[in-house]
Structure 1
């Protein structure tokens, strides 16, 4: 009895170990292909299940071989054809669902990558990939229905009633979906652009990481990720900071009139700007007097920078501070 128990446990562990080994070899091989990780892991689970089932049957045979033989006999299956049929349909449905999701994810990734080589913009690539994703999932759903021999009219009727219910109950969600499709088609900004969205006292500033059907994900300058509903973007003005690839910067410099020389001070500031790599030569940098307050004079320094992302003009500020150590230096643009 003890020996039989030990052999049974050893057989199950051996089958499990064999399954894990086969899964590792298969998954490592499939990772080098275009298949999505979802379908790779699903195939890996199936590979583990096969030797594990055989191991359980072998362990059970050690305890009661006639029972296993009788269980595997065709007559038993004929008596339980209804249960077996249901189980087989269930297994088919699960495999089809896993396969469909894996194929959909794989095609989505391939579409985004392959269409990108033809210079189609990323918004359109994303839209096409998601349409294919939904199409594959829909085909998979109808395929599963055919496994259960459900007439197509039933799910269509249910879907119609469900759609009416959703339209009434989830108007805001549908509004976001429509706005998401509009953003992908109209392309007011692209993935990778830095945008400002302002509504009253609410302002979102960040780099566009993804445009989903319900919300757009932004990576803020401070590092956080924020999901902005597409309807909010649709209803409010959008400032695309990276559309033209260059931006204007304005620095306010306030210093004592005694420290100001109309020719020397302005000339030295312009020299700093002209010698800085980030500052564009055209349009020309300018320095103008913005006003007088008591014994102080306010200057406005304007220049354009070549970067299309968040502008870092710290080096320029340091050089201006070294030139005018007693002056107040404040960045006005970009904020």
Structure 2
């Protein structure tokens, strides 16, 4: 009897030591993992796993302390008094319950971690926070769904009926919101391909409203919000953007301006007039030297000659056009000046 008491004391000390070591290692692990991208739920789950692993190690040590014969005697003694032999028949189910709970908790932690990583990485692509959150949560649900199907497989449950019901609901739901789904698919395309970003200035065919030009304010899954140059905000379904031509006015930093100058015949000289126009343009610092400005004849009548002038400016400096018109007006007082291509006038 004295030996059993000694073994019991050793067993209790072993469990206390392994438990304390488990809590200590959990504290170190959790402290390190909290500095990473892992979600707190997953971090705490891993911390609990460390404690359980060390307790399992302690149980193995306790079993080694007690001989097999002594364990059998204790088992039969308790079984005779408490009738716990029936519990052995359900140990497999108990283990399945524990494993299912572990998979569920781990699935939640991994799903939340995936969502956190996706939201952080998509921020570098200038995607709206609501969009990033939605995509992150969708992937989190996917991970959780995988964990649930794994649990069903552990319990040897048939997944044909749940899948059939889910498939029927999906078909009916898809048919009911097919127009919205088209916009969602187009929205995913825009987010992945990124033909434009938030802050870019675009031009798009607006149907009866004509060409819509403005700055992109928000790119959502269903629609894109654009603030027009006239000040209004317009919401454009992503399907329209996906199926029509979109001009990104800010993709390149230079803009070409095209002017026409109509001069009386007597004021036109084939050599001097184009050279004089180009000289005036070169004196304006805001005009980009490369590509070089050009001035060519585009029309000839009995009374007048029309020249087409093209030059390049930096996007957003539309005030340069007014400076050019003013300089040409001073040089050619009787000329008719017309802006044919105004660099977008945005």
SS at match of 2:187: helix
Residues 265, 302 of structure 2: 8 Å contact kept: no
Equivalent in 128, 136, 148 of residue 132 of structure 1 = 136
Q: Deviations over 1:139-193 (max 9, x none)?
A: 9xxxxxxxxxxxxx9x999876654333212221110111011001011122222
Question: Quick one: distance in 2 between partners of 1:321 and 1:159?
Answer: 73
C-alpha contact 1:111 1:125 (8 A) present in aligned 2? no
User: Could you tell me which residue of structure 1 aligns to residue 329 of structure 2?
Assistant: 321
Aligned counterpart, 2:205: 198
Indicate which of 172, 185, 191 corresponds to 1:184.
191
- Where in structure 2 are there 5+ consecutive unaligned residues? 1-111, 144-158
TM-score, normalised via structure 1 length? 0.54
Task: Select the residue among 178, 193, 198 that pairs with 1:171.
Answer: 178
Q: How far 1:317 moved relative to its partner?
A: 2.0
C-alpha displacement of 1:211: 0.9
* TM-score normalized by the length of structure 2: 0.52
Q: 1:127·1:184 contact (CA, 8 Å) conserved in 2?
A: no
Q: Residues 240-319 of structure 1 correspond to what in structure 2 (within 5 A)?
A: 240-307=248-315, 309=316, 311-312=318-319, 313-319=321-327
- Mark the runs of 5 or more structure 1 residues left unpaired by the alignment: 1-102, 140-152
Q: Is the Cα–Cα contact under 8 Å of residues 263 and 336 in structure 2 kept in the other structure? A: yes
Question: What is the aligned partner in structure 2 of residue 231 from structure 1?
Answer: 239
**1:295 Cα offset (Å):** 0.5
- For residues 134 and 264 of structure 2, what CA distance do their matches in structure 1 show? 61
Alpha-carbon separation, structure 1, partners of 2:250 and 2:142 = 38
SS at 1:222 equivalent: coil
- Distance in 2 separating the partners of 1:227 and 1:272: 44
Q: Does the residue aligned with 2:333 lie in a helix, a strand or coil?
A: coil
d(CA) in 1 for partners of 2:206, 2:229 = 19
Q: Report the Cα distance in structure 2 between the residues aligned to 1:318 and 1:161, rounded to whole angstroms.
A: 70
Note if 1:213 corresponds to 2:221: yes
SS in 1 for 2:287: coil
SS at match of 2:288: coil
- In structure 2, do the counterparts of structure 1 residues 317 and 133 end up closer, same or farther at CA, with 3 Å as the change threshold? farther
How many aligned residue pairs are there?
215
Maintained 8 Å contact 2:287/2:312: yes
CA RMSD of aligned residues (A): 3.8
CA offset digits 1:279-307 (Å, max 9, x no partner): 11111101111111330111100111122
